[in-house]
Chains A and B, each alone.
Chain A
Amino acid sequence: MNPFSRFLVELQDISFLFWRMLRGLRKQPRYFDEMIRQMDSIGVGSLAIVSLTGFFTGCVLILQAYPTLEYYGAQSSAGQSVAITLIRELGPVLCALMVAGRVGSAISAELGSMVVSQQIDAMRALGTSPARKLVTPRVIALVVTLPLLTVAADVFGLIGGGIIARYLYALDANTYITSLRAGITIQDIIGGVIKPLAFGFIIGLISCHKGLTTQGGTVGVGKSTTDAVVLSSITVIIADFFLSKVLQGFFGNTLF
């Protein structure tokens, strides 16, 4: 099969999985317990790495931007520069990439192992739809927790930026906070939460699809795990561009 046909087949399979997942939401049983368990494992479990990523991203943003801002005498806009970059772009994207690495790989490996040990077949033989039992709770958990994780990453990033601005560049804390408050608009915040909603959906669906289509034993599990992380990361980055464009269309192109 040539790469284009393979891409179309994958797209078709993912669309079917999406459809079965939606049907899973409509019918009983809905596996709320499983959703809560997944939210705990995905959300609470990823909080530390996401917060750390956000914190140091905020730190490095100020570290790199401050000298330039100082050159133009715009030190008072330091907070604004970190806020817009983090909340609009880096927060959602970095958070999604971290979660794709940690959670996407785990989902794909878990479902892949279930496929090769025939647990998925057993589940179907026992009258349960794997899409409803396994895919729906994971995707919903990702869609709910990724925006929350992104907000945590943003907050820690802004704190990190503030610490560097205050202690490395001796910027007054009040100036930084005032600049933050002036720089963040409600559109930025809404956009910064809509993006991770879409990213959570992308990571969940791709990782589950890759896991459930695992072939060829333990080697296959490794391959599907790699594919899940690579494909969801790339799709997140591509989707980010188009989402940004759509959000710009909705909210207008807010300037610094």
Chain B
Amino acid sequence: MFETETISRQQSPISPIVPAIEFRDVDLAFDDRVILDAINFTVRRGETKIVLGGSGSGKSTIIKLILGLLRPDAGTVLVDGEDITNADEQELTEMRKKIGMVFQEGALFDSLSVYDNVAYRLAEEGIDDDEIEHEVIRMLRFVDLEDAIDKMPIELSGGMRRRVGIARALVGSPSIVLFDEPTAGLDPPTARTICELAIKLRDLEGVSSIFVTHEMNNLKYLSSEYAIVDGEGQVFFEQEGDKLCIINTKVMMIKQGNIIFDGTDEELKLSKDPYIHRFITGR
């Protein structure tokens, strides 16, 4: 179990009804290959949207569009109600401060230590060294990796790299966190640890997130468990059911650039679509 500390989120002046992320008729193609075809969806504040889909379905592209790493051919991408479709690099840099991004393999900077990786964003902003150290230790404690602070990325296991990646993404307390297949290639207990971090962010910090994955275990954890803190600050994970029903986690499935499902996990399981059925059961 984790000890928790309250992370003060970036306070946005935007109304809570304005979605954290919104896609309106977004099209994207590389040469003649259509990647996304008229995509529409929203992620509300404090909501976790699990994006499912096979390899090459366009899942990771959605994340790159939100970060402004790619621009859509048509349509509009809104982050916190702001249209970022035609934003220049300066505006995108400001917008990216609201977003934490967790990459598939962690994408840690090989030449920097764990400390410097986590401190990267603050160091770039010219923040005072003491403040940086305090924040880095706090974040590494959140992902339970305080002992690895002086290690180089090459010395870390796959799971540790992802957790450092999460700590780096959370520095600056972004209000939106994007996970791009953070559990790919990890053993089940480590994958569960990553999901627990995402659950903690959702339930204890009120973060809006997109969790791209193709692993059904992740869907099970995120859509059926919630985190609570006891009087001593210990975090526990409980199953939804009698006491509480999770309503802030939605599932979206993408197939060849089209959204073929957008709803709750229960609705997904009841779907008659043969592709969805095969995706869920593996048969």
Interface residues of A (CB under 8 A from B): 29, 113, 117-119, 121-129
Q: Do residues A127 and B96 form an inter-chain contact, with CB atoms below 8 A?
A: yes
Partner of B121, one of A29, A118, A127, A129: A127
Chain A residues, CB < 8 A from B120: 126, 128
Q: Do residues A121 and B96 form an inter-chain contact, with CB atoms below 8 A?
A: no
Q: Do residues A128 and B124 form an inter-chain contact, with CB atoms below 8 A?
A: yes
Given A118-B104, A122-B109: 5 more A-B contacts, CB < 8 Å: A119-B109, A121-B69, A125-B67, A125-B99, A126-B96
Given the complex of chains A and B, what is the CA–CA distance between A121 and B68 in angstroms?
10
Nearest A residue (CB) for B122: A126
- A-B pairs with beta carbons under 8 Å apart, 5 shown: A29-B126, A118-B104, A119-B108, A121-B103, A128-B120
**Sorted from nearest, which 7 A-B pairs have the closest CB atoms?**
A118-B107, A122-B107, A125-B101, A127-B93, A118-B103, A126-B121, A127-B96
Q: CB of B141 within 8 A of chain A? A: no
Partner of B64, one of A117, A121, A127, A129: A121
Chain B residues, CB < 8 A from A118: 103-105, 107
Q: CB of B89 within 8 A of chain A? A: yes
Partner of A124, one of B67, B97, B105, B108: B67
Q: Which of B97, B99, B124 has the most CB of A within 10 A?
A: B124
- Count contacts on B: residues with CB < 8 A to the other chain: 22
Q: Which of B99, B105, B107, B110 has the most CB of A within 10 A?
A: B107
Quote the shortest CB–CB distance from A109 to chain B (angstroms).
12
Chain B residues, CB < 8 A from A125: 67, 69, 96, 99, 101
Chain A residues, CB < 8 A from B105: 117-118
Quote the shortest CB–CB distance from A25 to chain B (angstroms).
16
Given the complex of chains A and B, what is the CA–CA distance between A42 and B67 in angstroms?
34
Quote the shortest CB–CB distance from A252 to chain B (angstroms).
46
Nearest A residue (CB) for B123: A29
Chain A residues, CB < 8 A from B121: 126-127
Nearest A residue (CB) for B180: A118
Given the complex of chains A and B, what is the CA–CA distance between A118 and B64 in angstroms?
11
Nearest A residue (CB) for B100: A125
Chain B residues, CB < 8 A from A129: 89, 93
Chain B residues, CB < 8 A from A124: 67, 69, 96
Q: Which of B67, B101, B104, B168 has the most CB of A within 10 A?
A: B101
Chain A residues, CB < 8 A from B168: 122, 126
State which residues 77-117 of B face A: CB under 8 Å.
Answer: 89, 93, 96-97, 99, 101, 103-105, 107-110
Chain A residues, CB < 8 A from B125: 127
